[in-house]
Amino acid sequence: MKKDIYITDYNCVTPLGFNVNTNWNALLDGKSGVTLHQIIDHQESFYASMIDSEKLEEEFNKNFDQHSFTRLEKMLLLSLLPLIKNHSITEKTAFILSTTKGNISLLKDQPELPEGAYLSNLARKIADFFGFKTKPIVVSNACVSGVMAIAVAKNMIQTGKYSNAFVIAADEISEFVISGFNSFQAIGTEPCRPYDKNRTGINIGEAAAAVYITSDPSEHEKFKFKVLGDSAVNDANHISGPSRTGDGLYASIKNAMTEANVSAEQIHFISAHGTATLYNDEMEAIAFNRMELQHVPLNSMKGFYGHCLGASGLLESIISMESALHNTLIPSKNFREMGVSQPLNIIQENQSANIRYILKTASGFGGCNAAIVLEKY
Of 37-46, 115-124, 138-147, 341-350, where does mean pLDDT reach its minimum? 37-46
What pLDDT is recorded for position 254?
A: 98
**Mean pLDDT, all residues of the chain:** 95
Reported as a single tens digit per residue, the pLDDT across 107-158 is 988 889 999 999 999 999 999 999 999 999 999 999 999 999 999 999 999 9
What pLDDT is recorded for position 351?
A: 97
Nearest Cα neighbor of 7 from 146, 120, 208, 206 is 146
Strands (E), 66-123: 93-98
Strands (E), 273-312: 297-299
Which residues share a beta bridge with 108?
none
Sheet holding 204-205, edge to edge: 34-37, 46-49, 204-205
What pLDDT is recorded for position 219?
A: 87
Which residues share a beta bridge with 9?
212
Q: Are 235 and 247 in contact (CB under 8 A)?
A: yes
Q: Residue 69: pLDDT above 80?
A: yes
Q: Residue 304: pLDDT above 80?
A: yes
What pLDDT is recorded for position 182?
A: 78
Q: Residue 285: pLDDT above 80?
A: yes
What pLDDT is recorded for position 44?
A: 81
Q: Residue 39: pLDDT above 90?
A: no
Kindly state the average pLDDT of the residues 4-20: 98
3-state helix, strand, coil in the chain (%, to 5): 35, 25, 40
What pLDDT is recorded for position 1?
A: 76
Reported as a single tens digit per residue, the pLDDT across 238-249 is 877 788 899 999
What pLDDT is recorded for position 144?
A: 98
Q: Residue 54: pLDDT above 80?
A: yes
What pLDDT is recorded for position 241?
A: 78
What pLDDT is recorded for position 38?
A: 81
Q: What sign does the dihedral 315-316-317-322 (CA atoms) show?
A: positive
* Domain layout of the chain by residue ranges: 6-214, 229-376
Reported as a single tens digit per residue, the pLDDT across 228-279 is 999 999 998 887 778 889 999 999 999 999 999 999 999 999 999 999 999 9
Class of the CATH domain delimited by 6-214: alpha beta
| Share of residues in the chain with pLDDT > 90 (%) | 87
User: How far is CA 27 from its chain centroid?
Assistant: 16
* 3 state DSSP class of 214: strand
Q: Are 181 and 86 in contact (CB under 8 A)?
A: no
* 3 state DSSP class of 266: helix
Q: Residue 186: pLDDT above 80?
A: no
Amino acid at 350: N
Pick left, alpha or beta for residue 262 (phi over 0 → left; psi -120 to 50 → alpha; otherwise beta).
beta
What pLDDT is recorded for position 67?
A: 78
C-alpha to C-alpha distance for 242 and 206, rounded to whole angstroms: 23
Reported as a single tens digit per residue, the pLDDT across 82-97 is 999 999 999 999 999 9
What pLDDT is recorded for position 206?
A: 98
Q: Residue 30: pLDDT above 80?
A: yes
Do the domains 229-376 and 6-214 match in fold?
Answer: yes
Q: Which CATH architecture has domain 229-376?
A: 3-Layer(aba) Sandwich (3.40)
Angle of CA points 287, 241, 301, to nearest 5°: 60
Reported as a single tens digit per residue, the pLDDT across 189-205 is 999 999 999 999 999 99
Q: Residue 185: pLDDT above 80?
A: no
What pLDDT is recorded for position 103?
A: 97
